[in-house]
Amino acid sequence: MKAGDGHLRAAEAVQSALAERQRDYDVVHMDVLQHTSALFRAGFSSIHKMLVSHMPSIWRMLYERTEAQQTQSRFKRMAGYLQSLQTRGIRNAVLNHQPSYVICTHFTPAAAVAALRRSGEYSGQLGVVLTDYDVHPVWIHPGVDCYFVATQAMAAVLRQRGIAESQIQVTGIPVLPVFSQDYPEKRIMRRYLGLNENLPTVLISGGGGGMGGIDRTAAELARVFPETQFLAVAGHNKAAFESMRKVSAAGVANLVPLSYVRNMHELMAASDIAVSRCGGMTSSECLAMGLPMIVTNPIPGQEERNLHFLLENGAALHAQSFAHLVYKLRRVLNEGELSGRMRQAAQATARPSAAATIAAVVLENLMRVKNQMPIRLTMVQRPAPTASANEPDVATALFPNL
């Protein structure tokens, strides 16, 4: 299945925090999508990618109409039933292991495990980590013990939808520890990465799938700003990477094409600004790194809500067109006061300790309920992504030792 890895990174962040707080626990990964039908795996992200890339107006309509539904509307009950038919394997995996606590960072396993809670087949605890800066009803299910959300505004939405205060924790979105470490100054980081340390540096990313015409945008920006260095991350989009490689080889030396990377934190530490989509994880990582953003082509629905959050807090600008992008990028590069304000806003908005806070709540609840039982922590996830901006299904489960 083709998908990005935002939800996966959130789960890994929680896993890391749990391991840090309690080293006696084992952490094991399980691939939840391998427990779904082949039809579900093939269609889940491909349909999403088609809609957001080619029919964004339809995706917006679906997002807003489902958002307007009541939490337990007829539409949602029907959708939940159809999804349950495709996720029996996820439920079987939970029933076979009987975990003490399951933490879901995607709504698909959350729905499956919540159904087991309601039926009485699963008696452990269930936590749901929302990975955007707004709440969509698809995340809300009877049977969830705790919702971990990014902002107080999201907590208010949950309360309005009937979720008790005791079930809500405002923690931020969990990011890996590498995004909240101290790094040398940007010139040193550029030298370390083999880049031109003297050029202002812009990081361009289209998510794991390299969407949004990243190859065309990066090539044109490199031509317009010859004295600026552009690190363009194509993710799993091989065609976009090859296109940028040819442009760079043809003499546009300030364009540095990259494919899928595992050192995004280092690239952020070397960069002055990010030109990017605004998925919840990408936004949270930029905030933690104090990296200003110029957002382009947000996906209707969740990314637009993320953009509103970033703009409201002064950590990002929005470029509605390439001309706007050129104008706003030039301002950020040339106006030190503007870029300084955006960096400070990003740092003030960031919640880099979110994963540690989530881990502390989970462990406290576990010890309160099962103080006498040794716990084994298991991360339930899907495999590494291949080529889309959609995100994977991930859950984290804490299993009793066998």
389, pLDDT greater than 50: no
In a domain, 42, yes or no: yes
**Where residue 253 sits, what CATH number does that domain have?**
3.40.50.2000
In a domain, 55, yes or no: yes
373, pLDDT greater than 60: no
Shared-domain flag, residues 380 and 239? no
- The helix (H) or strand (E) run that includes residue 274 is strand 273-276
In a domain, 387, yes or no: yes
Q: Which has the higher per-residue pLDDT, 280 or 70?
A: 280
390, pLDDT greater than 50: no
Q: Report which DSSP code applies to 173.
A: -
Pairing status of strand 201-205 against strand 273-276: parallel
**pLDDT for 245-268, tens place per residue?**
999 999 999 999 999 999 999 999
pLDDT at res. 6: 82
Shared-domain flag, residues 72 and 221? no
pLDDT at res. 183: 96
Instruction: Name the pLDDT band for 392 (thresholds 50, 70, 90).
Output: very low
pLDDT at res. 29: 61
Instruction: Name the pLDDT band for 83 (thresholds 50, 70, 90).
Output: low
Q: How far is residue 206's CA from residue 265's CA, in Å, rounded to a whole number? A: 16
In a domain, 74, yes or no: yes
Instruction: Name the pLDDT band for 92 (thresholds 50, 70, 90).
Output: confident
Question: Minimum mean pLDDT among 60-74, 113-127, 178-192, 327-341: which range?
Answer: 60-74
Average pLDDT for residues 301-317, to the nearest whole number?
95
What is the overall mean pLDDT for the chain? 83
Shared-domain flag, residues 121 and 215? no
In a domain, 285, yes or no: yes
Average pLDDT for residues 363-390, to the nearest whole number?
55
Domain that holds residue 153: 6-175+353-400
Q: How far is residue 59's CA from residue 253's CA, in Å, rounded to a whole number? A: 38
pLDDT at res. 44: 58
pLDDT at res. 371: 60
Q: Are 344 and 375 in contact (CB under 8 A)?
A: no
Residue owning tokens 């015409």: 213
pLDDT at res. 19: 84
The structural domain count of the chain equals 2
What percent of the chain is predicted at pLDDT more than 90? 58
Q: What is the pTM of this model?
A: 0.85
Instruction: Name the pLDDT band for 131 (thresholds 50, 70, 90).
Output: very high
pLDDT at res. 292: 97
Shared-domain flag, residues 192 and 323? yes
Shared-domain flag, residues 341 and 382? no
Shared-domain flag, residues 374 and 240? no
Helices (H) and strands (E) in the chain, counts: 16, 13
Shared-domain flag, residues 75 and 34? yes
Q: Which has the higher per-residue pLDDT, 116 or 57?
A: 116
Q: Which has the higher per-residue pLDDT, 124 or 54?
A: 124
Shared-domain flag, residues 188 and 313? yes
User: Does residue 81 come out as left (phi exceeding 0), alpha (psi in the -120 to 50 range) or beta?
Assistant: alpha
Q: How far is residue 253's CA from residue 147's CA, in Å, rounded to a whole number? A: 47
Closest CA to 129 of 64, 63, 173, 85: 173
End-to-end CA distance of the chain: 31
Shared-domain flag, residues 345 and 375? no
Shared-domain flag, residues 214 and 189? yes
Closest CA to 322 of 186, 219, 168, 181: 219
Phi, psi at 300, each rounded to 5°: -55, 145
Shared-domain flag, residues 386 and 259? no
Shared-domain flag, residues 288 and 309? yes
Phi, psi at 268, each rounded to 5°: -65, -40
**pLDDT for 191-240, tens place per residue?**
999 999 999 999 999 876 556 689 999 999 999 999 999 999 998 889 99
